[in-house]
Structure 1
């Protein structure tokens, strides 16, 4: 690994971390230089998050040495890490939903006099920071009322509110639109121009190659290689990351798309909800994948929540030709709908519960008799679904919160597949998931379509929408702009519809 002593602000040598008999990191080396973006790349479970928690003072290293500005660095807690000049923005939000944006950004550092917090100065400081960063967020708003994307921006502002030498960004664009991501990229550029080092973690190859100066690959808790961005490419990085060549990211369709004579399983006509979306009409056939694309705020997720009975909307919905009026999600499940939400941590899983419980919670009727749970049957079916989707866990009794992001997403999918849905709604099915796990989830989606499941898939990743969908629906400002065969669309044309430039 090339080293320039005057430029290196953070150095790791032979760092390891064990949890009892389990080794999470072994022999990890890393040099991070001032004024550069250093990307850390690896599959979920490669050890990236554990390494970041060590640097942030959340967990201690088991072995090895870390130096910051040439001095030993072993923070006992996040406050000590911040005092030494290291700031981190975690992928998993650490915000208090009941507090305002300003209160979250300046938590533990509120301006006070004589022991009393000054609300005026709190608002002023938060507004100054948000204005400096160029973030479209109201600092007086309650965080719980914000969208996932807006909460992500608040998390970024909170992390950048410290005067840091090193800024760690863990999957910062996972829920951001292209426009919001551009704001973040501009912030990163200003940070490096000011001589600060940025450690960047992402699974999006296009933005990695755009932003990075240096890229370090980890696999199975070990250091694999460090490469300069200009001397590598996507194929080489993926091969280093997963230990194998991946010649086809998007698996081919298994059989032909549904023909013109196939009746739709789900028909939506004139669906509207005040201030969210207007006059949405579409149909999806058995075995078809209908992709929904749009920028944040376009109304995609709101439409899906209405279809699943989570919110009420005007208009007509028909399932197998019969009117579908839902009183809530329980009836949606009973009628044959499944919904993988974009927020798996809060809406898709009970993190402290076992995989067995999470997989069967939406289909208890299938593993019960006369109102009593048949635990042996429940365990067998949970194991079957877990094996079918390739969930990697010690057992089905492991807590869902102990799994990597990719495996958690598979558990959410397993939960809905146990309900045997006629229509499966997928809202951001690969958010925060690494390339290897994405490939497996894409395979699962293809298999479901081949079995006759109608799939409605929302994604912010345009290559994903065009790579998997049979047809693509594009939304802008709460309205459906077009529905077209994916072969008739280019990325530029989709973005033109999504930004309202093409009608």
Structure 2
């Protein structure tokens, strides 16, 4: 079929650090090519160079048989490249047609917009993708998957022959992800090549033809999808075998009840939920997307309203009106979106960790004792293995796994003994996942109690000592021991009738 894209010897250096060390990559016409690597392996830098956002120090780019070096993103688009970023670049209050043609609107005589022609073209693009999208409503009212298809349509409207899809399934449900894969297969049949970046390795084998793996800014290998498996890919990515991603579960007897939630009802006619959380355990919240797991956790800490609720901490009844009151009682939340809800990205590690607990470092004259604060943060960074030059490093420059550790460090610093982890490994690589898992177990060994909310079934099964399964807003089963397996979890999560079991 012939290569559409060839990168040879791409190198890039930033401030004395060699980010890319002579990367080679070839993408054939009409193939879906996976680009894998841990956070920091060089994937993003390589893609920025490819589309003209960054310039390489060395190496060549060939596209459609011609040598290219793009000075701007616009130049890359003009020859047939398109990129769908993990963070969408849509204007939320414009509709799909307006977003698809933003910046290259069709105009007629006197500079008037050709609205009918643009709409017809948008309809044809949606038909080409095989998707149904309401073209008249603001895109913020579309589902995440539909917004992603609008992004793809934007690229196809510019006749893209190579699509770069950066973590496209990170925020999709399994059903939406499968719909995206159908769209990708359809584009492949039409001759469009794709570079697919994902941390979900099982997806690679569903949709990709070939794989290139980067490690520490260099090529770690390339292979056909049929010749590999997840274990081999992990070893290529991290440079070693991860014999077991999940650390051993707690073997001893269950600890004392730390948190007792009784008769929590979010709506007057909604289900009433009760559960207990024990010292030193990880309680998994499992269920389909929309089953109410996060909503229940937010209601526990007062971030969402409830019409009925009783909370007991360490055997004593407590009132938790809002998240600040929950924090005062020692309950901390690691939110699903660490970037928008968990961190102040422009702040340093020190500022993020100390953010809710500056009183701890109050010195003479009510001034902050910076030396004591620095030492405390350094100790936390060491204890949680946060990889950064020092406490003053900006959080925005850290990998996803290290950003997550900073959020954990904040609540450990605040002496929270109950931690709610909402999708703690979303968007981080396999090596960083293993570190987060090990850290969670280390915390439980010290007596912390953790609620784990995750859409990844292997994560729920591998990490949880008990699993509360949600179905339509209700906890319908609490599993433990050998009952924590995929069949049992999914049987309860997908049952059409709620199964009433004693808590």
Which of 170, 192, 196 is the equivalent residue of 2:166?
170
**Mean CA deviation greater in 192-201 or 323-332:** 323-332
Structure 2 stretches lacking a partner, 5+ long: 499-503
Cα distance change on mapping 1:288 and 1:317 into 2, 3 Å: farther
Which of 194, 204, 211 is the equivalent residue of 1:208?
204
In structure 2, the residue matched to 1:439 is: 434
- Assess if the C-alpha contact under 8 Å between 1:265 and 1:284 holds in 2: yes
SS at match of 2:266: strand
- Assess if the C-alpha contact under 8 Å between 2:129 and 2:187 holds in 1: no
Which of 329, 332, 335 is the equivalent residue of 1:335?
329
In structure 2, the residue matched to 1:258 is: 254
Which of 344, 349, 352 is the equivalent residue of 1:350?
344
**Mean CA deviation greater in 131-140 or 80-89:** 131-140
Task: Summarize the alignment of residues 454-465 of structure 1 with structure 2, pairs less than 5 Å apart.
Answer: 454-465=449-460
In structure 1, the residue matched to 2:73 is: 78
Query: 2:282 and 2:132 mapped to 1: Cα distance?
Result: 33
CA distances 1:241-270 after superposition (whole Å, capped 9, x unpaired): 1111110110112442516xx334232423
CA distances 1:152-175 after superposition (whole Å, capped 9, x unpaired): 641443134322211111111112
SS at match of 1:439: helix
SS at match of 2:458: helix
Query: Quick check: 1:294 aligned with 2:290?
Result: no
Cα distance change on mapping 1:67 and 1:120 into 2, 3 Å: same
Deviation at 1:151, TM superposition (A): 3.5
Deviation at 1:322, TM superposition (A): 3.5
SS at match of 1:179: helix
In structure 2, the residue matched to 1:34 is: 29
SS at match of 1:265: strand
Query: Quick check: 1:305 aligned with 2:275?
Result: no
**Mean CA deviation greater in 186-195 or 438-447:** 186-195
Query: 2:95 and 2:480 mapped to 1: Cα distance?
Result: 43
CA RMSD between the two structures:
2.6
Query: 1:367 and 1:400 mapped to 2: Cα distance?
Result: 21
In structure 1, the residue matched to 2:278 is: 285
Deviation at 1:403, TM superposition (A): 1.3
In structure 1, the residue matched to 2:312 is: 319
Task: Summarize the alignment of residues 3-152 of structure 1 with structure 2, pairs less than 5 Å apart.
Answer: 6-97=1-92, 99=94, 103-110=98-105, 114-115=110-111, 133=129, 150-151=143-144
Equivalences, count: 492
In structure 2, the residue matched to 1:190 is: 186
Query: 1:378 and 1:466 mapped to 2: Cα distance?
Result: 38
SS at match of 2:461: helix
Cα distance change on mapping 1:375 and 1:212 into 2, 3 Å: same
Cα distance change on mapping 1:98 and 1:397 into 2, 3 Å: farther
Cα distance change on mapping 1:183 and 1:496 into 2, 3 Å: farther
TM-score w.r.t. the length of structure 1 is 0.90
Deviation at 1:48, TM superposition (A): 0.7
Which of 185, 209, 214 is the equivalent residue of 1:218?
214
In structure 2, the residue matched to 1:430 is: 425
SS at match of 1:411: helix
Query: 2:476 and 2:101 mapped to 1: Cα distance?
Result: 40
Query: 1:420 and 1:126 mapped to 2: Cα distance?
Result: 54
Query: 2:107 and 2:34 mapped to 1: Cα distance?
Result: 38
Task: Summarize the alignment of residues 376-455 of structure 1 with structure 2, pairs less than 5 Å apart.
Answer: 376-455=371-450
- Assess if the C-alpha contact under 8 Å between 2:145 and 2:176 holds in 1: no
- Assess if the C-alpha contact under 8 Å between 2:358 and 2:368 holds in 1: yes
CA distances 1:424-469 after superposition (whole Å, capped 9, x unpaired): 1111000000000000000011111111211111111110011101
Query: 2:446 and 2:220 mapped to 1: Cα distance?
Result: 39
**Mean CA deviation greater in 368-377 or 308-317:** 368-377
